[in-house]
Amino acid sequence: MNIIEQYLLDMRLDEVDKSSLKKIPNKELVNMHYRTHQLHSLHKKKHPINRSYLKFLIKTHDTIVKEMLDRNINHNSPLR
């Protein structure tokens, strides 16, 4: 397990789902979104992660983005 994979687990992103996101404040939601971008950037630059963790990261990002849009929070930063 590399540093990003461990960080995903430490951040408890594996517990992110639609119902849990509805309970957190906007600021925390935006922070979680930012963290997914940080991890994705690390993956691309220094610490490649395996395909299943990458899919998980993208799915988590997409779930967070959907909640942001439901709350009318702007999103202009797709994972690339």
**Sign of the CA dihedral with 58 first, then 61, 66, and 67 last:** positive
Whether the pLDDT of residue 1 is over 70: the answer is no
Share of the chain above pLDDT 90, in %: 29
Mean pLDDT for 3-19 is 70
CA distances to 4, 9, 23, 66, 79 from 54, rounded to whole Å, are 10, 13, 25, 18, 11
Indicate the number of domains in the chain: 1
Q: Considering the domain boundaries, does residue 18 fall inside one?
A: no
Q: Considering the domain boundaries, does residue 77 fall inside one?
A: no
pLDDT tens for 32-59 read 899 889 888 887 777 778 788 888 889 9
Instruction: Give the residue numbers spanning the domain of 28.
Output: 3-11+24-70
Q: Considering the domain boundaries, does residue 16 fall inside one?
A: no
70/14: higher pLDDT: 70
Q: Considering the domain boundaries, does residue 79 fall inside one?
A: no
**pTM, two decimal places:** 0.81
